[in-house]
Amino acid sequence: MRTTWDLEQLYKSADDPQMEKDVKALERVFSAFAKKYRGAASYARSEAALARALGEYEAMLSKRAWGKPLSYFQFRLSLDSGDAVARAKLNQLMERLTKSYNQIIFFELSLMKIPPKLQKRFLKSPRLERYRHFLKTIFARAAHTLSEAEEKIMSLKEIPAYQQWIDATDKLLGRQTVESSGKTLPVSEAMQRIHELPTQNERRALHEATMRSLSSLADIAESEINAIVTDKKINDGLRGFARPYDETILRYQNEPKSVDALVGAVTRRFNISHRFYHLKAKLLRLEKLGYFDRAVGIGKNVRPVPFAEAVETLRRIFGSVDPRYAAILDSFLEKGQIDAFPKIGKGGGAYCAGNANMPTFVLLNYTNTMDDVMTFAHEMGHAIHTELSKSQPIIYQDYSSSTAEAASTLFESLVFDALFEKLSPDEQVIALHKRLNDDIQTIFRQIAAFNFETELHGAVRAKGSLTRDEIGALLNKHMAAYLGPVVAMEPVDGNHFVAWMHLRRFFYVYTYAFGQLVSKVLAARYKTDRKAARNIAAFLSAGGSESPEEILKSIGIDIAKPDFWDAGLDSIECDIDRLEKLTAAR
């Protein structure tokens, strides 16, 4: 079993001659396609001609792993944010490949110019059935797309106006450390460990130490946030997006009314979250909670879970649903596609990343806790989703973040349900509290973050910029909204914005709540009927072949129903009822 990445599956080194060969091959295929089709607008006038052009476009994308060179250096930076060679090479490659990719921007832009009458005909054409959803998404983006020359500028400026700002903060965060109990910890690990400490005073001390560490970067993060939010304001204005989050919803292929309904339903029912934290305070025998207490568990019988045991647990549970899922886990461990443990310089948190025609890699920061087991299950859910989606044509192998989060949280639920049945009554209390804690953070906290982003973008657009203190106060306001009156927020808590990297992926956070509530339905159906495993497999194999709404509808889940989101929220309230009854005598 290998617990570190083997990036030689991509390239042997930064100077591997194969990388230059791959980049040149990409440049050639893009150039050849552009030479053949640029100016030949006749392909957009008939079904037969369009089918041929789309076939060649798909074949061009299938020929090479065009994300492979960039991924190699991005992965190196995840392992060591101070890797100067990787950072320099990545910037060079991004600029070079962006210029090359810009040669074929004209193709999708030309499809956007197809008259509405022809669009309707093409979408109904049996000859174009394979490309129906691809064309549908292109036609939907048409109203927000600029000229070819302007799109090239937008693409090129993303590196200095956005990516390099993000990279700078990430690099500095990777170097930050915190002293705890005589040990020097990466700040990412320190933040993970806060909720593991047994007393409130210990949690407060480590939290305040991490917030001081983050405070030292707050001036830089202030400039970064203002710069990238202002850049987005410019982009949205040019593209004609009315609301700051409209572009994200379109990119993730969700229906705006679905997202608005989700955000509205969760925000209206923040009282569920308030109720949970009130119960948490009671169970911890504390009059007030701090921000640092939000994820703390209850009880003393939460034992360490070594990585090998976590692997065995996931293998058993995944295999019981579908042998393919366990086989994917085993393959990743055998080939070195999981990097398991934290170290100084390594990026915090966890993620799964994969592109067409290249291996998928999973990054963890495993510290032997039950939380880490759930994170492992979550990221392997992404990995399994990615691997099964490779059965789709290359134009559909990528998928919406909304379905991605449904897949990952589904695997968390499957692992939880399987483990819960084997626990003692006392352990079940601890586990049910933990499940609720995760639900509250994944649904209510993420929608509170969405609301924070909405107000942040609005404020920057109105005022021009915000200070670090204003950003921190705004974050505290929205965190307090979901945490409720039992949690005492302090000004220092606002420094969390420095390290919350998901906020840089504008409005992405709503997909966590979307996925969690959808996965609850999938898991509940599987629990009552094992034949539902077929629907799970169909969902995981669909890739981006339809919108999230349509994929879910195809397996019997209709999120357009007015009460869909409230039904999921009701299930959380029922879990709180159950926990209150189980702990009434405490």
Encode pLDDT of 94-146 as tens digits. 989 888 988 998 999 999 999 999 999 999 999 999 999 999 999 999 989 99
Task: Report the C-alpha gap between 523 and 529 in whole angstroms.
Answer: 10
- Beta-bridged to residue 361, according to DSSP, are 353
In the structure encoding, which two tokens stand for residue 15, read together?
A: 């100077």
Of 496, 463, 462, nearest to 479 by C-alpha is: 496
Q: Which amino acid is at 519?
A: S
107 in Cβ contact with 37 (< 8 Å): yes
Buried/exposed 483-520: b ≥16 CB within 10 Å, e otherwise: bbebbebeebbbbbbbbeeebbebbbbbbbbbbbbbbb
Query: Alpha-carbon Rg of the chain, whole angstroms?
Result: 24
Task: Report the C-alpha gap between 38 and 106 in whole angstroms.
Answer: 7
CA distances from 74 to 7, 19, 82, 90, 508 (A): 11, 14, 12, 7, 20
Q: Is 229 left (phi over 0), alpha (psi -120 to 50) or beta?
A: alpha
Query: What number of helices (H) and strands (E) belong to the chain?
Result: 26, 7
CATH fold of 12-145 reads Butyryl-CoA Dehydrogenase, subunit A; domain 3 (1.20.140)
Task: Report the C-alpha gap between 401 and 423 in whole angstroms.
Answer: 33
Q: What is the pLDDT of residues 278-288, one digit of tens each?
A: 999 999 999 99
E strands along 440-581, which residues? 487-488
Q: Cα 164 from chain centroid?
A: 20
Task: Report the C-alpha gap between 82 and 522 in whole angstroms.
Answer: 41
114 in Cβ contact with 41 (< 8 Å): no
Task: Report the C-alpha gap between 93 and 406 in whole angstroms.
Answer: 33
In the structure encoding, which two tokens stand for residue 174, read together?
A: 């990777």
Sequential pLDDT tens for the chain (586 residues): 999 999 999 999 999 999 999 999 999 999 999 999 998 778 888 999 999 999 999 999 887 677 899 999 999 999 998 999 999 999 999 989 888 988 998 999 999 999 999 999 999 999 999 999 999 999 999 989 998 889 889 988 998 999 999 999 988 998 899 988 888 988 988 998 898 899 999 999 999 999 999 999 999 999 999 999 999 999 999 999 999 999 999 999 999 999 999 999 999 999 999 999 999 999 999 999 999 999 998 876 557 889 999 999 999 999 999 999 999 999 999 999 999 999 989 988 899 998 888 999 999 999 998 789 989 999 999 999 999 999 999 999 999 989 998 999 999 999 988 887 777 788 889 889 989 999 999 999 999 999 999 999 999 999 999 999 999 999 999 999 999 999 999 999 999 999 998 899 999 999 999 999 999 889 888 988 999 999 999 999 999 999 999 999 999 999 988 788 998 899 899 999 999 998 986 6
Q: Which amino acid is at 173?
A: L
In the structure encoding, which two tokens stand for residue 429, read together?
A: 């209390």
* DSSP string over 250-297: HHTT--HHHHHHHHHHHHHTHHHHHHHHHHHHHHTT-SSEEGGGTT--
